[in-house]
Structure 1
Amino acid sequence: MGSTEPADGHPAGQWTGQGDWNGLGDRTGRARWVGQWVWAGETALGGPTAAQPYGALDRSRFDRRVLFRKTFDLATLPDAAALRISADARYLLYLNGQEIGTGPVRHGPRQLSYDAYDVLPALQQGRNVIAVLARFYGHPVPWWEPSPPSFTMGGGGLVAELALDDEVIGSDESWRYQPGDAWQPGEPMGVLVTQLPEVLDARLLDPAWTEAGFDDSQWLQATVLAEHSIVGASGATRPPTEPWGVLSARPIPHLDGETRTATILSSHPCTQSAEDDPRTNLRTALDSTPIDHGRNRLVVADFGMVVSGRIDLEVVAPEGSVIDGALLEVPTVAALDSSPVFRYTIRGSNDRYNSTDSVGGRYLVLVVAEGTEITEIQLKEQLRPRVPVPPFSSSDERLDEIYRIGLRTVDLTAHDAYVDCPTREQRAWTGDAVVHQSVDLIANQDWSLARWNPRLLAQPRVDGLLPMVVAGDFATPNIPTIPDWSLHWIRSVHNLYTHTGDRALVASLLGTAEGILRWFEPYVDEREVISNVPGWVLIDWSPVQVRGASAALNALVARGLLDFAEMSDWLGDTGRAEWARTFHDRLRTGFEAFWDADRRAYRDNLVAGRIGSSVSEHVAAAAICGDLVPAERKDDVRRLLLDRDAMFTDSPLADHGGDARGPVDGQPVSARPDPEWDTKRLVVGAQPFFRYVVHDALALLGAADEIAPLCLDWIALLKDAPTAFRECWEGGSYCHGWSATPTRDLVRYTLGISPAEPGFTTVRVAPRLGHLTHAKGAAPTPYGVISVAVTGQRVEVDSPLPVELVSRSGRTTRHPAGRFDAEI
């Protein structure tokens, strides 16, 4: 699936996967390390305390950067050169002044991986230098959380080694370091916005520090870190050590992407803040009207689309001048309030600001001193690579555009994990990712992130549920979780089962899935419904009622139980499958309590045994997907889901966007107002995220022909955000991967391409074009790409594997691998 093996002649820095390290180990990622853990003279560990006798982090040493160098000479160039590296928490690697890569990938507190690079193209005869900018955050950020400290480890560390033909150069006390005092340590702005500001005084940083000829003789000697813990301390200085154990090989390719260039839209004098703070300065400039004169100018540059990566800003200005900036969704104060900021102090020559962390947005907003010339504004995108398939195209150009924008939205939210948005958060939410993964499985030949993300998210709490976010600030047990997000994760495991057929992978995740489902069992009440669960039952951003016993939550549990039973049977675990089906039978019996015979619909909830008044498409759709609806009611559910005139989609996020009141102001995002609408007629409609469940339900109801017309709803999202899909029909972030469902469904349901058996050993093709007269596209399988083109009543298929073709009448015919056409 999308091979990650490098081709001959690949450039320096291309991901090489797990190398054999010149005989130092095998290809399992468990090779013996020559490099030792090193850091500056002191880590961020402040020593033991009464509360934490094993060592505690010292906040005064948070967000520290350290510059490392190791020089070596080569009389001749080797035949091979592989470098691997890891760090607590981040590194930026250079070889002879050339940037090689950055990492490691996000990880849990007791997980850590290494990155491997083929660096032969960057070597030179004579003097060479490995240079590393290492950073320890200390503060939890959206993509990193602290590891348990063990006296010496967990407060900053770097390990690296370069394997040549007949020698290995490993990190040790011969490496030189210098504190990164050019950067001012930063702190999170608040609970939601925890990305750290970058404040860099370029006058304190020699731009030649990464080059071989730089004189580092006055730099300090690196300190080797020896493992030391309360019990079992080995004194080891090389991996494996506490708290990470064996460092695993990077599971996904390195992030990459196009270089985007911005165009300056406006530049005018602006009001100057009285406070010397970049965020305050930017806020004052954005909040004021243009003035006729002033010492500062507000510059707004447009990338023309939402972008995600590292800023590259080239400027010419007098020494000591200051540039404050932020990449925003829209150039407003509200957008600024949910974005990280930077400050760059000019050195006076060779001035180029390169952000060290990835940021996202469309508009670069800068406050600069008069006389500052901005010569180049670029951003190098940092996204998971995508190996494309032929895109969906049809007789309706609007759907073609929706497919394309959905794919771009997932690209922007696929980093080293699937993240919610590239702008204000970049958090790996456990529920959101099911949509991103589904799109990757249908439109990307490289399934490495689709396979890795569910494994990364499989970090359950002690009670079995997953946290709402992993590998980041919100992963803390101090924050309640979203119970339904764990259920969407189970669906992502089911996606792996159907698409990859990888038994070992699915089996490794099934225990976590079981723990999630068993968590719900004690909350089954005397009516056989799950009631009053703790945490934040979200479902989505619509006002679907969840207090008491949530019908939508019960139905999602039922779907999870069916998924779990199916996968257990496939793996030969009939005992667990029987338990899941017995639990499902109980919920199917209890779900009858939500049915309102007069309304001919399921109500949203039960409170103290009394049925609620509101009706939502969430409950109707999830009940179908969870197989809770008797056959005689399915027509009623179908009518409800297709009565779009009755749907309304109010959202508490309508005033929480960069073009509204910002991330904190406005009504609480967890608000669920009691129904004030006409519950006898109106139906609470799903926001973009939950529509993946709605479309699944319609397909199960035999209404797949309706899905292409329903995807036209996404036109509304393009009116004020034409380059990526917004979080909600109104409000929220300007780019949210969970809104990309049409990109999956135009292939899965309109063209009708899906696995007929686990692992795609047979493909099902069941085109349902709806209002379209023709459509074509493709999808990846483990055996190659399958292409489908439909015109009128005929379909052309080119498949690398056998095909089950399902006609509009439901008749199934079987065809061998290859090219054929038929009537449908």
Structure 2
Amino acid sequence: MKYNILSIKRLNRWAFAVIGLIVIFGSEVQAQTKATWIWYPGDYEIWLSNKMQNRRTERGSFFPPFWKLDSHYVLIDFHKDYNIASAEEAEIAVEGQYNLKIDGKAVAGYPKKITLPAGKHRISLKVYNQGAVPAVFVKSAHVVTDNTWQVTFEDKEWIDASGKTSDISATQYLQAGSWNFNEANTSPSAFRLPVKPIQAVAKDKKANSIFVDFGKETFGFVKLHGVKGKGNITLYFGESKEEAMSLTGGELVDKFEVNQPESSDITFEGSRAFRYVNVVFDGDVSIGDVSMLYEYLPVEQRGSFKCSDEQINKIWDVSAYTMELNTREFFIDGIKRDRWVWSGDAAQSYLMNYYLYFDSPSVTRTMSALRGKDPVTSHINTIMDYTFYWFISIYDYYQHTGDKAYIEQTYSRMQSMMDYCLSRRNKNGLMQGLTGDWVFIDWADGLSKQGEVSFEQMLLCRSLESMALCANIMKDTKGSAKYGALAKDLKAKLFTYYWNAQKHALVHSRINGKQTANVTRYANMFGIFFNYFTEAQKQDVKKYVLMNDKVQKIVTPYMRFYELEALCAMGEQDYVLKQMKDYWGGMLNLGATSFWEEYNPDKKGAEHYAMYGRPFGKSLCHAWGASPIYLLGKYYLGVKPTAPAYAQYLIEPKLGGLQWMEGTIPTPKGDIKLKVSTTQIKVTADTGTGTLRIKSKTKPECSDAAVKATANGYYEISIQKGKSYTVNYKAV
């Protein structure tokens, strides 16, 4: 198969960065001060995700997603009512065919500039584009396209026999979507991630091959220098040396023909994940050198963590790099194999993002792409549990950002998605896998997905609670009451149907109305940090499930994330630290430069790379492997919001066996910085009102604020923004 070759000049022309952090506060969208390209909310995200997810290949073959792909609306109406003191010239740029009107009167042709009349007027554009998202850019001194413009995909206009246009009061408008494409010539459809050149750290050149090592896991475009001659070139990519050396078993292979009479440089069009590249060529082909162009999303790393344990520092750094690689146009699962947007993977990436980047647009882009359009015909990614993670993530996003506007734009799609879920309950009011449903839970040998699985009911219950909270934000009192009542009923059933007093836990499932004997970790650990258990039940679950080696162990970082979160929520930071050092440290000991899709310490050698029945099927750079970022930020530094957008927050640091730690937690309006040792805590915050809660052998001393004693040896100190605090104490 012959592959297209992309010149470096063309690639660099594509590779501009148009990324900006758009943060929305409070109950109303903040008007932007400069013009930006706008579109129907969610449409660009759907269009862009379709492009990205259809780049997957396996050994040169196209590998499309498993699920339905929606499309953008092809005809959109945009309008803005404005009031200006004097006439002014406006620049117009549009993606698609368009009709432009001022106060309902059409402007002839396809104007690039128009004069906006003084006074109160309405400017409107109707845009058609089948191939890309209808989008507009308008810029004058006082009138700009931004997220205060109104958009709709059906304006419901009609014209009567007299030629009069109807009133359009039946039309439902939304506020426009955008992503900081802030110049007329930076059209959204031309967006590409930027790149930068990277050199290999080692090369082994032979007569007809060059074996290249870039030193660590990476992602981008291979560049061949000084290519001359006629023949075939094959690139064997590998996350491991063994994969790149395998001519038959590797996941990614590119082959092409070359006929280069004169020496020239060529860059491959397809982006790939690799550490090693085995370049094999025949005929009279010669190649001078091999390098790459690293492709990335330029988001700012605002979060940080450092402590007294160097292995933990390395784990945090490699986790951050793993997140960097998997943070692209969207949060994806892994860079080698799927490169798709999976809701379960993304749900964890959102949480890690809040402690690393706090890049809100990456979260909303991903959530919008996952939801797609109505009508709903299947679960998100076809996976029941992945649908529930989507609901839970939306309210969690609001709690971190305070972005009410996103709830307003998404609520109707939340309702229709929940209607679909509720329609698929069985006669007992429980979720059970039907034809077309994938009940995933986790990759685990022999894990039953049959019957009414307790884990799915747990996630549905939390999803209904999220719906009730979002209904409150929308002032939908009927919806709030409905979803709240359904959640209360299902929560009661969780304990009536699944709690087994003899096993001190929720059982895994029910089949034909009877409990199965199996106890697994999944529903039990979620019940802890969802706070569904009594304190006695939590202690039982910790003893009889989470700390019980007889219960099937978890081997994926995906569910280790939640298992360790549950233990942290129970105050087991000392134990969790050892687990992190053993599990993530175990991957580092095997040479990992990014964290894997799955790690089983019982495997040996190349066994670690096998998965899905393929010798190199496992992803060695998987987003869900980066969970220490979240655990160390939320449960060791101990910072979390208790009101939307960190208007109020808690700092409850726990060293967990460390001698000291320090870090930065990003928020919508600045950072929270913390230094903690066994005798002293220093805090500064740019936002909100915080509560520092610590346990001390003696009453802490703080000259900057009052110290309030609470129960069980805990003390609290109020943290105000813009101030620095030093607290002397004796750690328990």
Q: What is the aligned partner in structure 2 of residue 240 from structure 1?
A: 128
Matched residue SS, 1:380: strand
2:509 is equivalent to residue 598 of structure 1:
no
Equivalences for 1:441-590 in 2 at 5 Å? 441-460=354-373, 462-463=375-376, 465-468=378-381, 481-525=382-426, 527-534=428-435, 535-543=437-445, 544-590=447-493
Q: Please, which of 719, 724, 727 is the counterpart of residue 819 of structure 1?
A: 724
Shift of 1:549: 0.7
Residues 209, 281 of structure 2: 8 Å contact kept: yes
Provide closer, same or farther for how the CA distance between residues 484 and 810 of structure 1 changes in structure 2, counting only shifts above 3 A: farther
2:582 is equivalent to residue 718 of structure 1:
no
2:194 is equivalent to residue 256 of structure 1:
yes
Residues 617, 640 of structure 1: 8 Å contact kept: no
Residue identity in the other structure for 1:322: N
2:676 is equivalent to residue 790 of structure 1:
yes
Deviations along 1:142-192, one digit per CA (max 9) or x if unpaired, are 6999887999xxxxxxxxxxxxx99999999xxxxxxxxxxxxxxxxxxxx
Residues 36, 178 of structure 2: 8 Å contact kept: no
2:675 is equivalent to residue 805 of structure 1:
no
Matched residue SS, 2:214: strand
Q: What is the aligned partner in structure 1 of residue 554 from structure 2?
A: 685
Shift of 1:536: 1.0
Q: What is the aligned partner in structure 2 of residue 427 from structure 1?
A: 340
Shift of 1:780: 0.9
Supply the distance in 2 between the matched residues of 1:498 and 1:12 (Cα, whole angstroms).
Answer: 34
TM-score by length of 2: 0.69
The more displaced of 628-637 and 536-545 is 628-637
Equivalences for 1:765-776 in 2 at 5 Å? 765-776=651-662
When the two chains are superposed, the root-mean-square deviation of aligned CA atoms in Å is 4.0
**Count of matched residue positions in the alignment of Structure 1 and Structure 2:** 566
Q: What is the aligned partner in structure 2 of residue 107 from structure 1?
A: 46
Provide closer, same or farther for how the CA distance between residues 359 and 577 of structure 1 changes in structure 2, counting only shifts above 3 A: same
Supply the distance in 2 between the matched residues of 1:545 and 1:171 (Cα, whole angstroms).
Answer: 50
Deviations along 1:380-430, one digit per CA (max 9) or x if unpaired, are 222211312352111111111111111111111111111111112211112
Q: What is the aligned partner in structure 1 of residue 526 from structure 2?
A: 622
2:375 is equivalent to residue 367 of structure 1:
no
Residue identity in the other structure for 2:415: E
Supply the distance in 2 between the matched residues of 1:528 and 1:404 (Cα, whole angstroms).
Answer: 45
Deviations along 1:630-678, one digit per CA (max 9) or x if unpaired, are 443121112245416x0xxxxxxxxxxxxxxxxxxxxxxxxxxxxxxxx
Provide closer, same or farther for how the CA distance between residues 454 and 546 of structure 1 changes in structure 2, counting only shifts above 3 A: same
Residues 234, 253 of structure 2: 8 Å contact kept: no
Shift of 1:596: 2.4
Deviations along 1:107-147, one digit per CA (max 9) or x if unpaired, are 3499999xxxxxxxxxxxxxxxxxxxxxxx99774699988
Q: What is the aligned partner in structure 2 of residue 324 from structure 1?
A: 234
Q: What is the aligned partner in structure 2 of residue 356 from structure 1?
A: 269
Provide closer, same or farther for how the CA distance between residues 692 and 797 of structure 1 changes in structure 2, counting only shifts above 3 A: same
Matched residue SS, 2:219: strand
Residues 111, 244 of structure 1: 8 Å contact kept: no
Equivalences for 1:2-17 in 2 at 5 Å? 13-15=16-18
Residue identity in the other structure for 1:259: P
Shift of 1:513: 3.0
Provide closer, same or farther for how the CA distance between residues 140 and 247 of structure 1 changes in structure 2, counting only shifts above 3 A: farther
Provide closer, same or farther for how the CA distance between residues 537 and 335 of structure 1 changes in structure 2, counting only shifts above 3 A: farther
Q: What is the aligned partner in structure 2 of residue 756 from structure 1?
A: 642
Provide closer, same or farther for how the CA distance between residues 640 and 513 of structure 1 changes in structure 2, counting only shifts above 3 A: farther
Supply the distance in 2 between the matched residues of 1:26 and 1:171 (Cα, whole angstroms).
Answer: 19
Supply the distance in 2 between the matched residues of 1:727 and 1:597 (Cα, whole angstroms).
Answer: 35
Residues 665, 671 of structure 2: 8 Å contact kept: yes
Provide closer, same or farther for how the CA distance between residues 12 and 108 of structure 1 changes in structure 2, counting only shifts above 3 A: closer
Shift of 1:265: 4.3
Q: What is the aligned partner in structure 2 of residue 202 from structure 1?
A: none
Residues 328, 335 of structure 1: 8 Å contact kept: no
Supply the distance in 2 between the matched residues of 1:514 and 1:747 (Cα, whole angstroms).
Answer: 33
Matched residue SS, 2:288: strand
Residues 756, 804 of structure 1: 8 Å contact kept: no
Provide closer, same or farther for how the CA distance between residues 611 and 501 of structure 1 changes in structure 2, counting only shifts above 3 A: same
Which one has the bigger helix percentage?
2
Deviations along 1:337-392, one digit per CA (max 9) or x if unpaired, are 42241325141324222122321111111112376543332222222113123521
Provide closer, same or farther for how the CA distance between residues 431 and 337 of structure 1 changes in structure 2, counting only shifts above 3 A: same
Supply the distance in 2 between the matched residues of 1:709 and 1:692 (Cα, whole angstroms).
Answer: 14
2:622 is equivalent to residue 727 of structure 1:
no
Matched residue SS, 1:510: helix
Q: What is the aligned partner in structure 2 of residue 189 from structure 1?
A: none
Provide closer, same or farther for how the CA distance between residues 573 and 696 of structure 1 changes in structure 2, counting only shifts above 3 A: farther
Shift of 1:505: 1.0
Provide closer, same or farther for how the CA distance between residues 520 and 623 of structure 1 changes in structure 2, counting only shifts above 3 A: farther
Residue identity in the other structure for 2:659: T
Residue identity in the other structure for 2:443: W
Deviations along 1:567-597, one digit per CA (max 9) or x if unpaired, are 3334433332222221122222221222222
Residue identity in the other structure for 1:329: E
Residues 306, 360 of structure 1: 8 Å contact kept: yes
Deviations along 1:528-577, one digit per CA (max 9) or x if unpaired, are 53334441111111243321111111111122222232333344333322
Residues 210, 279 of structure 2: 8 Å contact kept: yes
Supply the distance in 2 between the matched residues of 1:434 and 1:555 (Cα, whole angstroms).
Answer: 16
Q: What is the aligned partner in structure 1 of residue 536 from structure 2?
A: 632
Provide the identity percentage.
19
Equivalences for 1:71-470 in 2 at 5 Å? 107-108=46-47, 141=64, 239-242=127-130, 246-247=134-135, 251=179, 255-256=193-194, 258-268=196-206, 297-318=208-229, 320-330=230-240, 331-333=244-246, 337-369=250-282, 372-389=285-302, 391-460=304-373, 462-463=375-376, 465-468=378-381
Residues 565, 578 of structure 1: 8 Å contact kept: yes
Q: What is the aligned partner in structure 2 of residue 218 from structure 1?
A: none
Supply the distance in 2 between the matched residues of 1:146 and 1:591 (Cα, whole angstroms).
Answer: 34
Residue identity in the other structure for 1:588: K
Provide closer, same or farther for how the CA distance between residues 262 and 703 of structure 1 changes in structure 2, counting only shifts above 3 A: same
Supply the distance in 1 between the matched residues of 2:424 and 2:656 (Cα, whole angstroms).
Answer: 42
Residue identity in the other structure for 1:487: F
Residues 314, 353 of structure 1: 8 Å contact kept: yes
Matched residue SS, 2:482: helix
TM-score by length of 1: 0.62
Residues 150, 243 of structure 1: 8 Å contact kept: no
Supply the distance in 1 between the matched residues of 2:209 and 2:690 (Cα, whole angstroms).
Answer: 59
Shift of 1:490: 2.1
Q: What is the aligned partner in structure 2 of residue 93 from structure 1?
A: none
Residues 44, 133 of structure 2: 8 Å contact kept: no
